[in-house]
Structure 1
């Protein structure tokens, strides 16, 4: 079975993440693993850990990325981020697409991110812009909730994807 190409929105988010060879990337809410495939290709011999609270979606992500899973370059976990066994792993980047938990208080997911993100690492949150106010509302909410954990929005981007535009914010710890 041939894996389908990433959607325009996931390809856009992968471009914003700009994962480099050798990096370690955590994807939260990986769904069927489409973005995992893009990230695994970008990091080469690096590592991607994918987490999804749905066992069905995690199984689909593992099937889609079977070769990389078997090679030990991708690990897929079926658990909410708060319960995921990250085994002391550290990451250069954390990415999530349309995972509202990152901008909806109390957002304890940021505590996990703060623990696993390497100094200088980045967080990229992609989201669909379905209403005119989504762009500014979600960016402000991310800035507020992430800011409570010592993170700051450092970049924002948007693409005219179908059926809705996709926006992304990059978040880092200052300094």
Structure 2
């Protein structure tokens, strides 16, 4: 694997997100920017915005994605999601991997995400299955917390990645009358 290739777990999450050319993607908790790189390739002429509360991680994301940042296809913000200046942008997809805030109450991040989604937009929350009960508890918590903000689970998936399996919960805005 090249030093710039995504890990199996991030490649799995990227597949669940299934970003398409021209889309706008927000990654919350971007870490070193590996998934940002995957998303930037997938969206082609679209745009990726990466947010991380750690200035160090935001700097690493910027370094890793320098060409895309310089070309204006990737924007990196060092701030918690709730404080990030997103300039009123709307996103076709929002993704977060191993960001406990999305399954730990009170989870105000869901309020922000619900307001950032473009019509028809989707959210993918990925997580490491470190304990057997995580398979049920994390998706249930995500569904409950996101459901309070008008989002409903559309799919769950799991991959046998190492050192722990990786799971993902996909959501969209709930359809009225269903």
Tell me the TM-score range normalised by the shorter chain. Answer: over 0.9
Distance 1:44 1:153 in 2: 27
Distance 1:158 1:119 in 2: 27
Q: Following TM superposition, by how much is the alpha carbon of 1:4 offset from its aligned partner in structure 2, in angstroms? A: 1.9
Distance 1:40 1:86 in 2: 18
Q: Which runs of 4+ in 1 moved over 4 A?
A: none
User: Which residue number corresponds to residue 91 of structure 1?
Assistant: 91
For residues 121-140 of structure 1, the aligned pairs below 5 Å read 121-140=121-140
User: Which residue number corresponds to residue 29 of structure 2?
Assistant: 29
Distance 1:133 1:166 in 2: 13
Say whether residues 1:155 and 2:155 are aligned partners.
Answer: yes
- Give the direction of change, closer, same or farther, for the CA distance of 1:3–1:68 in structure 2 (3 Å limit): farther
User: Which residue number corresponds to residue 39 of structure 1?
Assistant: 39
User: Helix, strand or coil: the match of 2:25?
Assistant: strand
Q: Following TM superposition, by how much is the alpha carbon of 1:3 offset from its aligned partner in structure 2, in angstroms? A: 4.7
User: Helix, strand or coil: the match of 1:138?
Assistant: helix
Q: How many residues align?
A: 174
Please report the TM-score for the alignment, with normalisation by the length of structure 2: 0.96
User: Which residue number corresponds to residue 120 of structure 1?
Assistant: 120
Q: Which runs of 5+ in 1 are unaligned?
A: none
User: Helix, strand or coil: the match of 1:67?
Assistant: helix
Q: Following TM superposition, by how much is the alpha carbon of 1:44 offset from its aligned partner in structure 2, in angstroms? A: 0.3
- RMSD across aligned positions (CA): 0.8
1:8-27 CA distance string (max 9 Å, x none): 00000000000000000000
User: Helix, strand or coil: the match of 1:42?
Assistant: helix
Q: Following TM superposition, by how much is the alpha carbon of 1:117 offset from its aligned partner in structure 2, in angstroms? A: 0.3
Verify the 8 A CA contact 1:151 1:173 in the aligned structure 2: yes
Please identify, of 54-63 and 112-121, the stretch whose mean Cα deviation from structure 2 is larger.
Answer: 112-121
Q: Following TM superposition, by how much is the alpha carbon of 1:174 offset from its aligned partner in structure 2, in angstroms? A: 1.7
Distance 1:63 1:109 in 2: 26
Distance 2:32 2:122 in 1: 23
Q: Following TM superposition, by how much is the alpha carbon of 1:114 offset from its aligned partner in structure 2, in angstroms? A: 1.0
Distance 1:164 1:44 in 2: 31
User: Helix, strand or coil: the match of 1:40?
Assistant: helix
Say whether residues 1:51 and 2:51 are aligned partners.
Answer: yes
Q: Following TM superposition, by how much is the alpha carbon of 1:148 offset from its aligned partner in structure 2, in angstroms? A: 0.7
Please report the TM-score for the alignment, with normalisation by the length of structure 1: 0.98
User: Which residue number corresponds to residue 75 of structure 1?
Assistant: 75
Distance 1:25 1:3 in 2: 23
